[in-house]
Amino acid sequence: AQTVTQSQPEMSVQEAETVTLSCTYDTSESNYYLFWYKQPPSRQMILVIRQEAYKQQNATENRFSVNFQKAAKSFSLKISDSQLGDTAMYFCAASGSRLTFGEGTQLTVNP
């Protein structure tokens, strides 16, 4: 069975600064994908970024990037130049026959 753990229930950051959200996972699969989802107060879960386990290069999507450490089974999300609209719950997820989600990290961006 897959497990995904997010050890930071809450984090805060000042606008324009950088913040890193942590995620560790466990899976028995040889190839898999990892995802970060964002859930703002509107409740809509939005895909932020994905990483294929076979790719050594870390994925980047504009201000969002990941630090993928396959051996350590770590998959952190870095948000650069934080904006007020980044305030949301962030979920890390691992692929399988279903997506397995972590507990979530509530990120607050302060003006």
Partner 1 sequence: KAGVTQTPRYLIKTRGQQVTLSCSPISGHRSVSWYQQTPGQGLQFLFEYFSETQRNKGNFPGRFSGRQFSNSRSEMNVSTLELGDSALYLCASSPGIRDAATPYGYTFGSGTRLTVV
Minimum CB separation from partner 1 for residue 17, in Å?
27
Q: Which two tokens stand for residue 36?
A: 């970060």
CA dihedral 67, 111, 104, 35 (to 10 degrees): -40
DSSP for 55-103 reads --SPPEETTEEEEEETTTTEEEEEE-S--GGG-EEEEEEE-SSS-EE--
14 sits near partner 1 (criterion: CB under 8 A): no
Pairing of strands 46-52, 19-21: unpaired
Binding characters for partner 1, 24-63, by CB under 8 A (x = yes) = ---x-x-xxx-x-x----xxxxxx--x-x-----------
Minimum CB separation from partner 1 for residue 40, in Å?
11
Span interacting with partner 1, options 10-18, 59-67, 68-76, 96-104, rule CB under 8 A: 96-104
Q: Which two tokens stand for residue 41?
A: 């107060």
CB 95 within 8 A of CB 47: no
Choose which of 24, 96, 108, 110 interacts with partner 1 (CB under 8 A): 96
Q: Nearer to partner 1 by C-beta: 68 or 91?
A: 91
The site for partner 1 (CB under 8 A) is made up of 27, 29, 31-33, 35, 37, 42-47, 50, 52, 91, 93, 95-104
